[in-house]
């Protein structure tokens, strides 16, 4: 479904070149390109997380992590996260919140089986980005999520790009439980296929970036609990009445316009570049922010 509103504009009403370079808007050098179309996220796959300094909207991905999404939905519905804090926050890396079960605290919540990757299926949408990639034979997008796949093993997995939401764990592969983290810096792709990636931030990354950091020398642990950024309330989109729930739109990564966007960012034909970059594209360097409307 296409959303209301059009392309990102400057105050003059025309796409600014620097804005295009930073956000990936289709502009100089791509006059014939189509704008990406947008799809509306289903309410059951939406989570609205309120912090003291704003709201973060998360899109869940049960196609890749069904057990993790099921447990996360259950915890959110029960109000488990309300009042808990982001207790481990490493600048340029991740913000981790929950009840501290990742630190060995006792918890009655069951463990979650590893959901690091899934089998490839021909009916799974996949828009290629680069082949090969430093961490995978091929990268691309599937329903808005940055992903990678290996044709030799017929497997596909979600990648650790900025805004990704995943479950923390201890050493055991099946040791995820309640604690989750949001990637808030440069993509830690070495974590790919090692964590249960189950969602991504589609709105409110500026709120994530405002989360209080911990000391770098203490693994990012926020020692003063009273100063930690706290989750005021977390709600499932499906639990919010239709009249009160914002509609959330994300780029349709299977559209012709999105393919044009990828080509524009890969080719870099804008006059701004006096030294043209190589024609490569990191899947984590494609801006994927969503839109909300009432």
pTM of the predicted protein model: 0.88
> What confidence tens digit (pLDDT) does each residue in 114-169 have?
999 999 999 999 999 999 999 999 999 999 999 999 999 999 999 999 999 999 99
Tokens linked to 20: 């295009």
Listed in sequence order, the residues at least 6 apart from 12 whose beta carbon sits closer than 8 Å to its beta carbon are none
b/e burial code for range 66-105 (CB count within 10 A of at least 16 → b): ebbbebbbebbeeebbeebbbbbbbeebbbbbbbbbbeee
Average pLDDT over residues 162-182: 96
Note the pLDDT of residue 105: 66
Note the pLDDT of residue 104: 65
H and E: helices and strands count for the chain: 4, 16
Percent of the chain with pLDDT over 70: 87
């Amino acid at each position: 479904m296409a959303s209301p509103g059009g392309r990102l504009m400057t105050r003059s009403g025309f796409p600014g070149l620097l804005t295009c370079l930073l956000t990936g808007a289709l502009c100089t050098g791509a006059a014939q390109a189509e704008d990406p179309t947008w799809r509306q996220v289903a309410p059951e796959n939406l989570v609205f997380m309120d912090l003291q300094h704003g709201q973060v909207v998360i899109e869940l991905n049960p196609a890749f992590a069904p057990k993790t999404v099921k447990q996360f939905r259950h915890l959110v519905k029960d109000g488990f996260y309300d009042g808990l804090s982001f207790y481990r926050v490493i600048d340029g890396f991740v913000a981790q919140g929950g009840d501290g079960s990742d630190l060995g605290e006792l918890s009655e919540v069951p463990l979650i089986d590893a959901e690091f990757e899934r089998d490839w299926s021909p009916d799974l949408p996949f828009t290629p980005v680069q082949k090969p990639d430093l961490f995978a034979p091929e990268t691309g997008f599937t329903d808005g999520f940055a992903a990678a796949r290996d044709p030799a093993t017929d497997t596909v997995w979600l990648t650790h790009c900025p805004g990704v939401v995943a479950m923390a764990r201890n050493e055991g592969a099946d040791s995820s439980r309640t604690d989750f983290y949001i990637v808030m810096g440069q993509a830690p792709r070495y974590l790919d296929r090692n964590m249960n990636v189950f969602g991504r931030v589609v709105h409110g990354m500026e709120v994530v970036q405002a989360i209080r950091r911990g000391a770098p020398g203490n693994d990012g642990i926020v020692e003063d609990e009273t100063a930690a950024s706290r989750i005021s309330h977390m709600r499932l989109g499906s639990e919010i009445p239709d009249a009160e729930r914002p509609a959330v739109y994300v780029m349709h990564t299977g559209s012709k316009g999105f393919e044009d966007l990828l080509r524009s960012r890969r080719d870099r034909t804008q006059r701004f570049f006096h030294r043209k970059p190589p024609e490569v594209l990191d899947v984590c360097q494609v801006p994927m922010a969503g839109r909300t409307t009432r």
